[in-house]
Amino acid sequence: MTMTFTEYFEQTDTITIAQQLLGKQLFYQGPAGLLSGYIVETEAYLGEKDQAAHAFAGHRSAKNEALYHAGGTIYIYTIYGQFLLNVITQPEGVPQGVLIRGLQPNLGQEVMQLNRRQPRSVFDLTNGPGKLMAALGIQDLSLNLQSYATSALTLSLTMEKRPLAVNAAPRIGIGDKGIWKAAPLRFYVAHNPFVSKMPKRAMNLENYGWQS
């Protein structure tokens, strides 16, 4: 089955997309060659009603403009000097998206190593939203508002690994936002060592949490 990016990111709800992105491969055609990794951790942000979302209560500005664009749009924002990567979901005007929080390196792991300052181990390379962007070497906003369908940053909707289990948990870094602080909108491949804050004893180093 072949599906366009628009279909994939507009035809179903954001929570489902956040779960189904686990195992999809993210590609970046960078200056040092092709880099890629499998998505292992995501968070869903549900628009105007979601107190933790940038579009809460309809907030709209130049910084979060991408949220209001079509499904498949790249949304990058910065916090504390870190660049964070999102995929916009839902049709134009419905400001929802998915934050990519963890990546299992595949192509160009050596380059990613060089792009990072001081990773403690391979598992420290891309196990966080700011870390994975640093590893890819994306440290500006030039890809913001562009599309995964047509830019140097893309992802495969077909080639994928399959998680043995997907866990849901509260999102990270959410302050006092009522029910939205505890809402289980963070999804990750159970026992995968590239998931942020994964305790070592919970890591499965045999299969990384993937089927076969």
Q: At its nearest, how many Å lie between DNA and the CB of residue 141?
A: 14
**What b/e sequence results for 34-72 when a residue is b if at least 16 CB atoms lie within 10 Å of its CB, and e otherwise?**
ebbbbbbbbbbbbbeebbbbbbbeeeeeeebebbbbbbb
In the complex, which residues of this chain contact DNA (CB under 7 A)? 79-82, 84, 116-119, 124, 128-132, 134, 172-173, 196, 199-202
Question: What is the C-alpha separation between 9 and 7, in angstroms, rounded?
Answer: 6
Tokens (6 digits) for 144: 């913001």
Would you say 15 or 136 has its CB closer to DNA?
A: 136
Question: What is the C-alpha separation between 151 and 167, in angstroms, rounded?
Answer: 31
Would you say 95 or 102 has its CB closer to DNA?
A: 102
Would you say 149 or 172 has its CB closer to DNA?
A: 172
Would you say 93 or 199 has its CB closer to DNA?
A: 199
Would you say 14 or 127 has its CB closer to DNA?
A: 127
Tokens (6 digits) for 21: 């992105």
Question: What is the C-alpha separation between 32 and 123, in angstroms, rounded?
Answer: 21
Q: At its nearest, how many Å lie between DNA and the CB of residue 162?
A: 25
- Residue 22: which of 200, 198, 202, 208 has the closest Cα? 208
Q: At its nearest, how many Å lie between DNA and the CB of residue 89?
A: 19
* DSSP β-bridge partners for residue 74: 87
Q: At its nearest, how many Å lie between DNA and the CB of residue 64?
A: 15
Tokens (6 digits) for 23: 């195992």
Q: At its nearest, how many Å lie between DNA and the CB of residue 60?
A: 20
Would you say 127 or 147 has its CB closer to DNA?
A: 127
- Residue 89: which of 175, 20, 1, 188 has the closest Cα? 20
Q: At its nearest, how many Å lie between DNA and the CB of residue 200?
A: 4
